[in-house]
Structure 1
Amino acid sequence: MDSAPNPNSSRHKAAFAFIFVTVMLDMLAFGIIIPVLPHLIVDLIGGSIAKAAVWTSAFGTVYMLMQFVFSPVQGTLSDRFGRRSVILISSFGLGVDFIVMALTPVMWLLFFGRAVSGICSASFSTANAYIADIVPKEKRAAAFGAMGGAFALGFVVGPALGGFLGHISLRLPFWVAAGLSLVNFCYGFFVLPESLPLERRTKRFEWRHANPFGALLLLRRYPQVFAFATVLFLINLAQFSLNSTYVLYTDYRYGWGPQAVGYTLGLVGLCSGLVQAVLVRQLMPKLGERRLIMLGLPLCVVGYLFFGLSSVGWMFLLGIPFLCLGGLAGPPSQALITRQVDPHEQGRLQGALSSLASLAGIFGPAVFANLFALFISDHAPAHLPGIAFVLAALLISAATMLASYAIRHLHPVQPGENPATTHGAELSPVTDIVHHEPLANDQPESFP
């Protein structure tokens, strides 16, 4: 006779579903205003396209800068006060902020609202810490892959939905984004359990841990963590070659218009979501984290080289599967990192990783866009329109070599072992860092 269903397992599935939806909505809210924000800026400043371009660049910079600064703050707050409260406050704040941006009649308030969006969207780091709390170590790569799928889904749906709504009204996408965030807050308020019990929380909040540079120091306190964090940074930096040059590059080299760009970007997002949400989960039990990393990174190199060196559009399209399969490397890298860091510092860890990703977002677009402009100009040392993608391939090649080195020297963390003190770092002793209860008073049976 079958046993009765475990209510704790249902509670765990509901918690994971909420985190998945939170990440998707954060990305959806980011993407939904991409097609309309520049046009709204044009309206607010009086119709100057040139000035709007400058303001749009400033909006992107301030968004990533706020994420860089506040990701470790939110991570440290979640280590001290729990994940649930930080995530709920961020969701509520994002909803209110979109309402303010929907109503604002002046540029400075819209700019301020975008900065607040960057702060509230920094909850992605807390969401990752929540996953590290509730998912058993052997299933974390699949869980982080599902988070990558949520990210990709929001990226695919957001701009398309924003463009459709923007035809009705430039401010309607902001209202829809606000409604989604507030609905998410209400759902989480009644459903989301706390993942970090009181006994595993830090004793006090310290600003030296919450500032982004102090948080990055955490990465150097654990063996191999700094190396894998650098791998993730290089992956994120390379991805900004797409953000900053994809539209202009495909127009310049292949004559693609907005429709073709939209279709191909949607295909990239869809394939990336399938790889991270489905394929990672299927391959993890067969290959393991280390082989998955060393499979994904070289495939990513091939994809970027196709993008950068293809002289015709159909050859460019051949690079999309390779580039998306490169997404196999990210989730297992995150999983390996979480297993090297103590449970009570998972929030700080994820905040530091998010700050690294934001740092890539601050500098990456300027580097790739200026290289693209240089190598198609009359003063180019060589005519190479795809230089941004070639550089991205070189960055991933460096990440591959670094990951190979880190994997060879990876210290296996045993149950009951503190990874920091094993290598001489001074940390307060903690209990079993591998086999711990994911939810207070709950022991989930499986990852949904």
Structure 2
Amino acid sequence: MEKLSGLSHLFMTIFLHNFAAFMVIPAITDVTMAALCPGKDECSIAIYFSGLQHAADNVPEGRRASAFGILSGIGSSAFVCGTLSTRFLSTASTFQVATAMGMLSAVYMRVFLPDSIVNDNLSTPIMSEGKLDGIVNQDEESDKKIQMFKTLPSIEDMLVLLKSSLTFSQAAIVSFFSTLSDVGLHASLLYYLKARFHFNKDQFADLMVITGIAGTVSQLLLMPILAPVLGEAKLLSIGLFFNCVHMILYSIAWSFWVPYAAALFSLLYVFSQPCIRSIVSKQVGPCEQGKAQGFISGIGSFANVASPLLFSPLTALFLSERAPFNFPGFSIMCVGFASMIAFVQSLMIRAFPPISSERVSNLH
């Protein structure tokens, strides 16, 4: 752990941000339902409203899987703390505290988290003093803007990344379908459980605390041990397999305790995202980490947009009286099938030597 001490401020930033983001999740379902369908446990229209470079730069290749796992574990611990706090706060106070914590995370990052790139010849640092000087010195403003745009990744850069490494392309596909399924599940699950088992804010919080604690223990303790032994590719497949299984288990839940049992699968399915990040980080050179991780984040953002468009209408249909057949969890099972596609693709990933950063840098 001493070798990862240089990431301490990054860990604190992630914790504060995720604490603010996750603490409102248990309450938002009840708020949305109360606004749109007062007094009801079923409301299909509510479904439509649900709609890392730093670690890679500061950690050697051999320890990146562990570093990404610990980073995700910090996020999971914030998830636990945020959802626990929901049980002790009123709905109105929850959103106020979340806003304050979100602002604190931004201030903390700006004050304590240094830019990981210290060599201006590699790329322009995101928070470098040079950019701040460019704002103050109006004579150099245009030159700074030109330099900034030269260092921003272009579509051509992204295509080169995809063509340069088969492993990178496979990881991008896995990331898309994995995020597609995760977002689809999160957008639909709470409304499904409210309609199916009449869950409320406190039960949502309990479920999320179980998920968060299991995920935190796994990422902080299990992943640093298993990653060097099994490798990121195998660990990725294990995580995606159990992610698929737990989604299907949610979809066929026959009793109120089944969702709690499914939540325990987070011990294993939390491996997937850190492993994807670690695999991607090893396919590019040190000066291309931001572009590679940013591209994967962009893939995830696209999946974040596409997932509600695909699964929200399906969830709304099967939670309504117009459902073609009686299967409230059908949309969640479809989400599980999307996760299965990611799992099958992950089985094809093999470890290859990292590609040279010059193959992308030469574009400039």
Choose from 14, 17, 25 the match for 1:26: 17
Identity %: 22
Change (3 A) 1:352 1:310: same
Change in CA separation of 1:385 and 1:225 when aligned onto 2, cut-off 3 Å = same
Root mean square deviation of aligned Cα? 3.6
Distance in 1, Cα, partners of 2:235 & 2:101: 38
Extract structure 1 runs of 4+ deviating beyond 4 A: 32-41, 56-61, 162-170, 207-211, 213-216
Q: How much has 1:327 moved relative to structure 2?
A: 1.6
For 2:119, the equivalent position in structure 1 comes to: 197
Cα distance change of structure 1 residues 348 and 180 upon mapping to structure 2, 3 Å threshold? closer
Q: CA, structure 1 residues 274+219, in 2 after alignment: closer, same or farther (shift >3 Å)? A: farther
- Assess if the C-alpha contact under 8 Å between 1:240 and 1:368 holds in 2: no
Unaligned runs of 5+ in 2: 38-42, 125-145
1:429-448 equivalence runs, <5 A:
none
**How big is the shift at 1:132?**
0.8
> What is the deviation of 1:200?
2.5
Aligned partner of residue 163 in structure 2, secondary structure: coil
Aligned counterpart for 1:329 among listed residues 252, 264, 272:
272
Number of aligned residues: 335
Residue aligning to 1:412: 353
- In 2 relative to 1, CA 239–288 (structure 1 residues): closer, same or farther, beyond 3 Å? same
Query: What corresponds to 1:15 in structure 2?
Result: 6
Instruction: Name the structure 2 match of 1:111.
Output: none
Moved more, 173-182 or 265-274: 173-182
Note the C-alpha offset of 1:37: 7.8
- Aligned partners of 2:24 and 2:86 also within 8 Å: yes
Task: Give the counterpart of 2:35 among 23, 30, 49.
Answer: 49
Name the structure 2 match of 1:220.
Answer: 162
The Cα shift of 1:168 comes to 7.4
Question: Kindly tell me: are residues 226 and 204 of structure 1, through their superposed partners in 2, closer, same or farther at Cα, counting changes over 3 Å?
Answer: farther
Equivalence map 1:128-277=2 (5 Å): 128-161=52-85, 164-166=88-90, 169=93, 171-188=96-113, 192=114, 194-201=116-123, 204-206=147-149, 209-210=152-153, 216-217=158-159, 219-223=161-165, 224-277=167-220
Deviations 1:177-225 (A, max 9, x none): 434542443333xxx46444234326943379446x6665354233121
- Compute the displacement of 1:381 (Å): 3.0
Could you say if the C-alpha distance between residues 377 and 349 of structure 1 is closer, same or farther in structure 2, counting changes exceeding 3 Å?
same
Q: Deviations over 1:75-103 (max 9, x none)?
A: xxxxxxxxxxxxxxxxxxxxxxxxxxxxx
Offset, 1:346: 1.0
Which amino acid is 1:428 matched to? N
Greater Cα shift, 387-396 or 160-169: 160-169
Aligned counterpart in structure 2 of residue 371 of structure 1, from 308, 314, 330: 314
Counterparts in 2 of 1:357 and 1:320: CA distance versus 1, 3 Å = same
